[in-house]
Amino acid sequence: MKIIKNPLQIQKISMELIRKNKSIGFVPTMGALHSGHVSLIKKSVSQNDITVVSVYVNPIQFGPNEDYKRYPRPVNDDIEICKKNGVDYLFLPSNETLYDKDFSTYVTVDKLSGIMCGVTRPVHFRGVATVVSKLFNMVMPDRAYFGLKDYQQYVIIKRMVKDLNFRTKVIGCPIIREKSGLAMSSRNTYLSPEAKEQAVNIHKILVNAKKSFNSGKNIDAVIKETAKLLSAIENSEIDYIEARDSNTLQPAVKTTKNVVIAAAVKISNIRLIDNILC
């Protein structure tokens, strides 16, 4: 595995690989790699000649009162995980190499970015779309892999790729969970043992919501019941609980065929997201 830090160098490598007709798989991450990330890496390795992973905590997707400074950065552990799982190139850019001091160009995916997580995190998806578009321009992957825990992000990136004519196919991969059912996340490290025990209830409640919905219960009633159950979790605060069309993220109605029930909940002030497809 080669570690690359210079954006022009990774772009040059990618151009050479494309000339050689090598397929490139890409897994963009913010590091603190866990089994969820590993599942994406393994998928890429199995489907492509070359796998590139990026590790970069992107400052422009964090709001002023969010956890950018304390976000976990175990870089040496991340390097070892990438080596063990067949990564060919690990891209480790810095803020200085990605953003000039007078950087002023941003990518915004209208409509999809101002709903759900975007209501309380208004700059988040602009930052995500901007950095992913930059990474796609550098790595030029055939396929890019995203975990479906961040379901809104997945739909936004797919829309961006279509609208901006990127060569990349965006592939959504299943949520990887701990044995308890808690969706794996780098932010789980913030949770105390007691908070983690409470957080497990989020997935259990979403599973219950799916059963209710699939049994024919009205979607508004399902969401109302689910909100009540989430609110009953000790030390919880609901950011949102919504039912959306899983393809368009439009609000789900009676005739919606493919539904995702998505939630963002703070447990002891740690914001966790999860979802379930119905």
34 is known as an active-site residue = no
Enumerate residues 6+ apart whose C-beta is below 8 A from 125.
Answer: 61, 108, 109, 112, 113, 117, 118, 152, 153, 156
> How would you classify the pairing of strands 259-267 and 143-147?
unpaired
**Which of the 8 DSSP states describes residue 177?**
B
| 3-state class percentages of the chain: helix first, strand second, coil last, to nearest 5 | 40, 20, 35
Which amino acid is located at 150 in the chain?
Answer: D
**Which of the 8 DSSP states describes residue 188?**
G
**Which of the 8 DSSP states describes residue 60?**
G
- Using CA atoms, how far residue 160 sits from 2, 33, 107, in Å, is 29, 25, 9
Q: Which residues are catalytic?
A: 37
